[in-house]
Amino acid sequence: MDGNGALHREVLDRADVGFGVTDAKGTLAWVNPALAEILGVGVEHVVGRSLPALLPGAPDRPRPGLALLTPSAYRKGHRWLEVTCQPFGSTGEPSTGELLYRVVDVTAWRDRELEATHEADALRRAQVLGRMGTWEWHIAEDRVVWSDTLLKMFGFPPDTELDFDRYAELVHPDDLPMIQATLQEAMRSGAGFSYTHRMTLGDRRTERWFECFGEIAVGDDGAPVRVLGTAHDITQARRVHDELLALAEQDPLTGLANRRAVTRELERQLATGGPGTMLLLDLDNFKDVNDLRGHAVGDRLMKALAAALRSRLAPGQLIGRLGGDEFAVVLPGTALAEAARIAEGLRDAVAALPLVGATGRVTVSTGVAEYGPGDTWELVLANADLALYASKAAGRNRVTVYEPGHYADTAKRVSVLDRLRAALDNGGLALHAMPMVRLATGKTLGHELLLRLEDGQEPYLGPAEFLPEAERSDLVLDIDRWVLSTAIDALVRHPDPELRFNVNVSGRTLEDEDFGGFVLDRLATAGVAPGRLGLEITETAAVTNLDAARALALQLRGFGCRITLDDFGSGFGSFVHLKHLPITGIKIDGEFVRSIDERSTDAVLVAGIVQIARGLGLSAVAEWVERPAQVDALMRLGVRVGQGFHLGRPVPLGQVLSAQPLPPNGALSSRMAGAEDGARS
């Protein structure tokens, strides 16, 4: 071997690329160390062996190719090898059949290439499953590149040429200026951006909602060069949001606007400064319909009434159900005389309704109050309420326009507040306890405490007559504290851990920033476990005072008190805000329970409420359980606890406590002393 040959041999021996020479029969005559390493066989054991046996798939004649090497005994795993061969010998000499093989291990870059391919495929599938696509705007070229997934979501085949102008034609015209302004601001500031818009798909008929997020890529000089974005189809979520929003402002029985929607519309009209009129309608003696003919008849009448009232109003005139048998109508731009005429038409429409299932008729009393610049919705509602009371006092079934003189009629209502104040000071208030019962066993799990006025004066006033008056004044704040203190004192005297009370909290008290601290101080001073006391907040109060309700619930639940959302589902507003309220339980509104064994619609709604409660880890109690058939229906739907006249009527609290065991005198005296000290503090 001459000098050049020795040099070439040394180079081949040190190369990391495998080289080998075979004779005409494919037997290896020579290999360099790199090829032996690739084959997993020592150099001394390679020469004289068949190359196809060591390298399956290797070409047997000159041609390039790519082969997969199977695992060998010397090296685990797979490898990708790039194998080429050519005739061995000097150019121009006759062929001897010898072949020169060149073998390169390309496993690393080949695996990276496959991984990139898999990642791209996974990204494409994720976009399809998540209904999300990507887009990229090359600013200098004014060219937009859309992913195939996004084009398909837009209703176009892959690789469709879709420039920004054509895309803009599909965007809802009300949303396009917002998109353009957002992109311009993002390019100016370099910050990320997001927006939600509507657009028509390629068929020019189907409308979808898309939520977009993006960021700006800048060049070395800091100028924007590309805009990268994603688009997510949120049409279904948007529809659910809109439906929940509608339910949050819709009365479930009649389909009319609820109190929240009415007051919001009145606020909106007052904000515009335009004049208008409000009607407040209350059915006369509707309670007799429910009591004598049943709630099913009452519900049918309420629906017929709502349809009749709505049909007599013009577009732009809003009617809503404030609750129970009370309705309100907002008449923008309507003078008093015209409003009174409309009210009389509504009165006549109600009087003409047949009372299904019995003879007789239902009438309605109406109060009319005008509004204008500077008024508040509370004032307008109060004036209409005064006029309504005047209609009731004058014999019902009539329309009364508010006059300043009506204010004098409130003296009678003020006397109610005087009685309440006197009762609060002189022991004329009492608590009755209504059991909450496990439906499967009949075991009492706790009691809801209900306020009663027992001052010995005539006429007797029930909660429906004195509580609304109290809630219109600050007196309700003192009443709520009295109820809570009385409940805690009873728990002190009877330390049985199974004795648990729920007390109701008014919407006004939710706004009392000191109430939470008052509750915790009383519990701590009395030595009562917080879990024995629960607070009930009505859905209407919670939604109306959402921030206050959330703050109070957070404060009390953090110390172990139970927080229950009462009348859940009455307006479905709680569904929108439920995730923001840290409550421990809900009470299913009696409107859904009353006919649970008769109407499949109620069963579907209750089943949904139970599923939501379980999913959020909340307890669920059904109200208005008045028949055995309701118990069976509720248990089938998964409701475990209920309350109502069938399960137990309210009884004086003392009657419940008399059935509870008392602790030893020493322990009782100690606890009572602590409770009295807390009350004095």
Give the CATH number, domain containing residue 223. 3.30.450.20
166 and 88 in a single domain? The answer is no
For the chain, the helix, strand and coil percentages under 3-state DSSP, each to the nearest 5: 45, 25, 30
pLDDT at residue 106 in the model:
74
Q: Are residues 473 and 523 in the same domain?
A: yes
* Of the candidate ranges 117-131, 238-252, 263-277, the one whose mean pLDDT is the lowest: 117-131
Q: What domain count does the chain have? A: 4
346: CB partners within 8 A, 6+ apart: 279, 281, 309, 312, 329, 364, 366
Q: How confident is the model at residue 481 (pLDDT cuts 50, 70, 90)?
A: very high
pLDDT digits (tens, 9 = 90+) for 532-589: 999 998 877 776 677 788 889 999 988 899 999 888 876 545 566 667 788 999 999 8
pLDDT score of 577? 61
676 has a pLDDT exceeding 50:
no
pLDDT category, 220, cuts 50, 70, 90?
A: confident
Q: Does residue 50 sit in the same domain as residue 80?
A: yes
Q: What confidence tens digit (pLDDT) does each residue in 41-54 have?
A: 777 777 888 877 77
Domain boundary among 380, 402, 424: 402
Strand pairing category for 318-323 and 399-401? unpaired
pLDDT over threshold 50, residue 681: no
| Residues 194 and 291 placed together within one structural domain of the fold | no
CB 366 within 8 A of CB 346: yes
Mean per-residue pLDDT for 200-216? Answer: 89
pLDDT of 632 strictly over 90: yes
Whole-angstrom distance, CA of residue 626 vs CA of residue 665: 41
Peptide bond before residue 459 is cis, with ω within 30 degrees of 0: yes
Average pLDDT over residues 261-279: 89
CATH number at residue 341: 3.30.70.270
The pLDDT of residue 245: 63
Q: Which residue has the higher pLDDT, 201 or 601?
A: 201
The partner residues of 366 in beta bridges, in order of sequence, read 281, 399
Enter the pTM of the model: 0.45
Identify whether residues 579 and 444 lie together within a single domain: yes
Query: Mean pLDDT across the chain, nearest whole number?
Result: 82
In this prediction, residue 523 has a pLDDT band, given cuts at 50, 70 and 90, of: very high
CB 29 within 8 A of CB 47: yes
Identify the domain containing residue 441 by its residue range. 412-583+650-680
Q: State the Cα–Cα distance between residues 323 and 591, nearest whole angstrom.
A: 11
pLDDT of residue 241: 67
Average pLDDT over residues 652-666: 74
* CATH number of 671's domain: 3.20.20.450
Phi-psi region at 605: left, alpha or beta (left = phi > 0; alpha = psi -120 to 50): alpha
Q: Read off the pLDDT of each residue in 356-378 and give the average, rounded to a whole number.
A: 79
Kindly state the DSSP code that residue 341 receives in the 8-state scheme: H
Kindly report which listed range (252-261, 356-365, 470-479) carries the lowest average pLDDT score: 356-365
**Whether the predicted pLDDT of 188 surpasses 70:** yes
Does residue 420 share a domain with residue 398? no
Out of 223-232, 421-430, 476-485, 625-634, least confident range: 223-232
- Specify the pLDDT at position 248: 67
Q: What are the tens digits of pLDDT across the range 300-333?
A: 888 888 898 999 999 989 999 988 788 999 999 9
Within-domain flag for 564: yes
- Is the predicted pLDDT of residue 229 greater than 60, yes or no? yes
Task: Tell me: do 129 and 84 sit in the same domain.
Answer: no
Question: What proportion of the chain, given as a percentage, has pLDDT over 70?
Answer: 81
Domain annotation covers residue 634: no
| Cβ atoms of 624 and 606 closer than 8 Å | no
pLDDT tens digit string along 92-111? 566 677 888 888 877 776 66
Q: What is the 3-state secondary structure (H, E, C) of 171-198?
A: ECCCCHHHHHHHHHHHHHHCCCEEEEEE
In the listed set 105, 137, 169, which residue is the last one of a domain according to the structure? 105
- Asked if residue 115 belongs to a domain, the reply is no
